[in-house]
Each structure stands twice: as C-alpha cells, then as structure tokens.
Chain A
Amino acid sequence: MFRTIQITGAIAMLTGMTSFGQEKAQPLETGTFHGKVHPTSGRATIYKEGDGRLLLRLTNFKTSNGPDVHVVLIAAKDADDDANFLKSSTERLELGSLKGNEGDQNYDIPAGTDLKKFQTVSIYCVRFNANFGAAPLEKF
C-alpha cells in the first residue's frame, strides 16, 4: 500500500517536472500591423508552446474600436486597408472576437493549422466585411 503511494507520488513528480520543462514557448513568426483608415499598430507573434500548441500574441497593440471585430488568419501574403475578404474570396481562419482594441492579448490557434498557408493576421470587422489592419508574418 505504502509502496503504491510512493510510486504514484514519484510518477506525479516526474510528470510535473516534464511539464515544467515544457513551459518554454518559441516564437515562430512575427510581424507588425499596418492600417491607416482604421489606425492599427503593434506586433503579432505566433508562438509554439512546449506542448506543441500554437498561440497568437498581440503586443503594443492598438486599433480603432468598432462593432463585431474579430481576429482572423488569412491565406494571403498581406492585406490592404478595408479589404473585403468575402469579395476577394480569401480563405480565413477565425480566432475569435477581438478582446480589446488596446493592449496585449493572446489567442489560441487550432491544432494542425498550416502556417505556410495562413501568412497574415487580420483585424477584421465582420459586420462590414472590412479589414481594419493586417500584420504580414515572417520567420522569427
């Protein structure tokens, strides 16, 4: 009985240690936002976390507040101000509603996302199908 507890404890400690060792996240790609019609600035960086998950982090970020604004990855090298991705039938991957129009924020990227295909982060106003700002990503 005591031995079982000891072994489980040792296993728990080991798994705890390995997960601690995996805390490190590597920046894979990064780029800065541009957007003049709806002034957008800051940096977008995609990190690979220790457990393999992908994360998008916006830093020094600022855009204009608006209705129904989302963070999307688009399958393009860059995007023009106010570009309409429905009209241009650009493939996009939804990462969720913009948490705030100012400040640092994180977004999960679905597992298995092809980053070679989705090369740009866009701040996209879904209600008016307009690109507020885009950050073309390049290898870090």
Chain B
Amino acid sequence: MPIPASRWLLRWRWALVAVSLPVLVGLWWAFRPEKLWVNQKVNEAAPFEASADPKPVLTGRFEAKAEQTSGRATIYQKPGGEEYLRLSDFSAPKGGDLHIELKGDSNGTDLGPLKNVQGDQNYDLPAAADPNKYEAVVIYSQQSHTVFGLAKLEPF
C-alpha cells in the first residue's frame, strides 16, 4: 500500500527544511531582492571644491545640423554669480553671418555674432538669467536662416 503524500511529507519534513534553507539563503544572496526597496545614498564632496574659479553649471557637445559644427559649449558661473558661455575645441564653417543663441523654455537669446569659427571663446550672459532654464546653444546662420549646429545643455 503506497504511503499518502501527507504522511511522506510529515516523515521527511526535517530533511526538506535542511535542504531548502541553504537553497533559499543562496537565492537571497545571489539576487538580494531587498535592494529593490533599499537605497544607498552617498554624498562625497569633490576633493578640490576650495578653488574660487568659475564653476561649470551646464555643458553639452555640438551636434552638426545644417553644417558641420563641433566642440563643447559650457555655461560657467563666477563666484559673484555672473555667468558666461564658453566654447571649447570649437569649429564651424566660415561665412553665413553666424550668430550664437541660447535656447530656453520660451524663446532664444541672441548673444551676438560668433567671434570666431575656430577655437575657444567666451560670451557674457545677460544678468539675472536663470542658467537652469537654458536648454541648448545654437549656431544660427542669419544669412540662410538655418541652424548650423546645436549643443544640448545638461547639468555638469
């Protein structure tokens, strides 16, 4: 006569516990499911924060649009609060009456004609502007009314 399943379980319950416990511990160790709910927050200071130099606030790389443009656009904040835009490793094609513009949530701010189509250059930003509202730096041709290049700004 075969032993009923319940009797079999009853007889081997300690063996079952002994086998399943290490398996469960092993699964817990491998997947650590509690980490789905537990966040580990750290906040280490930059080891060099002490300097009084302007700090990068937003930065982005230029993507070529209508024409080949490349380089980086960064908005810096001086210790006094004034901001300026700096282009580095910058390159754009000659001609086309190029202007540099800041695009924000509503409309653009014209920072004036591009000083140079090659190399590093700085542009002062209008005072009392919130740098976090700027979304992109645009190289705009006022001759052909096209966007030559665009750098999307992200927090530094």
Contact = CB atoms under 8 A, between A and B. Distances in A.
Given A67-B31, A106-B47, A127-B30, A100 B41 contact: yes
Contacts, number: 75
B35 interface: yes
B40 A100 contact: yes
B48 A101 contact: no
A23 B51 contact: yes
A57 B46 contact: yes
Which bucket holds chain B's interface residue count?
20 to 34
Contact of A140 (B39, B43, B53, B72): B72
Given A66-B35, A127-B30, A138-B61, A106 B41 contact: no
B48 A103 contact: no
A59 B156 contact: yes
Interface string A110-136: 000000000000000001000000000
A43 B156 CA distance: 7
Nearest to B34: A65
Interface of A: 23-25, 27, 30, 32, 43, 45, 47, 49-50, 55, 57, 59-60, 64-67, 99-106, 127, 138-140
